[in-house]
Amino acid sequence: MTNIITARNLSKNYGSFQALKNVDLTVEKGQIIGIIGANGAGKTTLLNSILGLSAYEGELEVLGMNPYRQRDELMKEISFISDVATLPKWIKVSEAIDFVEGVHKNFDRTKALGFLSGTNVPLDKKIGKLSKGMIVQVHLALIMSIDAKILVLDEPTLGLDIMYRKKFYHQLLEDYFDDERTIIITTHQVDEIENILSQVVFIRDGRIMLKASMEDINDQWLVLNPTPENIEAARALSPISERKTLGRVSFIFKDKSRDDLKKLGDVSQLSLSDLFVTLMDGE
Amino acid sequence: MLASLIKTTGYNPFKTLMLREYWENRRAIFTTPLVITAISMTLIIISMGIFGRSIHIDGESFTLNEFIANTSEQEAQDVKNHINYLLLGSSAPIMIGVWFCMIFTALSSLYDERKDNSILFWKSMPVSDTQTILSKLLTITLVIPLVAIAFAFIFQIFLLIVGSFATIGTEHSAWDLLWSSANLPVLILNEVVFMIMYGLWALPIFAWLMLVSVFAKRSPLVLATVPIVLIALFERIFFRSEYLLNFIDTHLSPAQMLNHVMNSNTNSINTLSSLNIIKSAADHNFWIGLSVAAAMLYATILIRRRNSL
């Protein structure tokens, strides 16, 4: 596999605050990577460094380039949407399309218009006159129509209703993603992206806590809901954590054989959000 | 031709950046000179006497037509001799209005995009900070004044037409009094040369405004002016000199440049006077200004690259 992003000893300080602490990270081609962390954990700082939006210390190479010095070159191959509404209010939807077409060699106008035709977005209106959801739709239509090697989505579906969110992730997989592309995504709605991710990175206090493939996570981490008589037996297997909800007890295990656990009760996959909480509690 | 100028034609980054500036600054580039021209035209039409007598001199009131009818042969000769200056002066309201547009567009050029976060969108596109800042600078110092000159031209034609109507029924002929004496191509040449040279003379001022615009956390106007006033005061009190104010005066006011034209003893506006405007580039102050501007623009580019958030 080819590494398209390599970070070594990546750090970023804002005054005395260390937003990133000696992060090492490699990302391979053809992955969909979820970056998960609490607010202020360093997700956006990490993404901004990768996108060449801020200076950093340490080594960072994205598609063989130095993102800070070669941002404009790099942006030919990367498209991104950041976590805040960034389309200027004064621009008309049609002008925004004209603009991206004018500066981006790899932009496909037909595709963008195709995405927008499935929405209620009027092309002749200014961004400032659109609803929050519509603005996100315009932005997503623009960046999904750029033939890029890396797509970075920072909270892409903020402000969208659930119908459109589902449709978006479906489109992302069906119409956009292929082996040649890499998608990096952060979101608070972890459950919605869980089944499209191939890799996950947990980040906390500027450090990477865990980087693993979804396969490995699903193999290693299991939830056991033991039958009442087996609760003590389950506890004896030294679970990572134990929780009680609505009178039922469940245990989270790591690296235990699924078959062994099945003897004690129902075994299921651990959801990413539960894994995140478990790892954070464990610290 | 105009239609193809203001339309995107596929992949063409720098043209697209210039268009982007037009979309954002339509008011400064187009609406402001349009409105000033329209208001000036309305005032002229009123003075024609359609709505009654409106020129007041020494307690007497005239229509424009009566005013011309009462013009003596000697005064008519004066009009002929100075018609180009009159036409040039008539565009002053447009030029002054547009000068404010240039100043305020420069002040907001790199501030607004940070205020509304759109800088993150612009930065997601494969255009360098240098290209972006260059497109903004060209818009401020070239596009805005050139569009204004186009409006000034329309207004000058309008004045000649209105003047022609006002000569009807008087002993003065419109051709003799106005059209044959006015030299519109030379006027345009002089205006264009003047605006381009002014843009270069005043480049350190616009570069300063853009520099403030790229780092101001709030209120770039205050940040661009207050420190200057304080430093000038400081200089005056402790060094009893006025270098800073002199520098600003030299570059902000077109007087320095126009002195070169005045000194060359030409009594009329002709091709030579536009050459004399260009000759003001021989002044060492011109080059000092350009160097200061280059340094500030370079700083502006570095700050925009670093300070995206």
Best A53, A62, A143 residue to mutate vs chain B (most B CBs within 10 Å): A53
> B55 has which bridge partners?
B62
Q: How far apart are CA B274 and CA A197, in angstroms?
A: 67
User: How many residues in chain A?
Assistant: 283
In this prediction, residue B244 carries a pLDDT of 87
Residue whose pair of structure tokens reads 């497109």 in the numeric block: B135
Contact at CB, A103 and B126, closer than 8 angstroms:
yes
Q: Render pLDDT for A40-66 as a digit per residue (tens, 0 to 9).
A: 888 888 998 999 888 889 999 999 999
A84: DSSP letter:
S
Listed in sequence order, the residues at least 6 apart from B59 whose beta carbon sits closer than 8 Å to its beta carbon are: none
Its ipTM equals 0.85
Contact at CB, A104 and B126, closer than 8 angstroms:
yes
- pLDDT at residue A90 is higher than 90: yes
Q: How far apart are CA B18 and CA B185, in angstroms?
A: 27
**Å from B170 to nearest chain A CA?**
53
- Which candidate, B144, B126, B131, places its Cα nearest to that of B24? B144
Query: Residue A120 has which token pair?
Result: 């209620």
Q: What element of type H or E holds A78?
A: strand A78-81
More confident residue, B145 or B58: B145
Average pLDDT score over chain B: 85
Q: Render pLDDT for B229-274 as a digit per residue (tens, 0 to 9).
A: 998 899 888 998 888 888 888 888 888 777 777 766 566 777 777 8
| Residues of B engaging A, defined by a Cβ cutoff of 8 Å | 8, 10-13, 15-17, 19-20, 23-24, 113, 116-121, 123-129, 131, 305-306, 308-309
Which whole-number Å values give the CA distances from B298 to B129, B136, B206, B217, B293, in the listed order?
Answer: 10, 14, 13, 20, 9
- pLDDT at residue A11 is higher than 70: yes
Edge to edge, what strands does the sheet with A57-62 contain? A17-28, A3-14, A57-62
By Cβ distance, the residue of A76, A82, A85 closest to B126 is: A76
More confident residue, A101 or B272: A101
Q: Render pLDDT for A222-233 as a digit per residue (tens, 0 to 9).
A: 888 888 888 888
Task: Spell out where chain B has E strands.
Answer: 55-57, 60-62
Contacts of B123 in chain A (CB under 8 A): 51-53, 71, 75
- Put simply, whether A92 touches B (Cβ < 8 Å) is yes
Q: Is A259 exposed, middle or buried (0-12, 13-18, 19+ CB in 10 A)?
A: exposed
Q: How far apart are CA A171 and CA A194, in angstroms?
A: 16
In this prediction, residue B53 carries a pLDDT of 57
- Put simply, whether A247 touches B (Cβ < 8 Å) is no
Integer-rounded Cα radius of gyration of chain A: 21
Q: How many CA atoms are closer than 13 Å to the CA of B64, on its beta-carbon side? A: 19
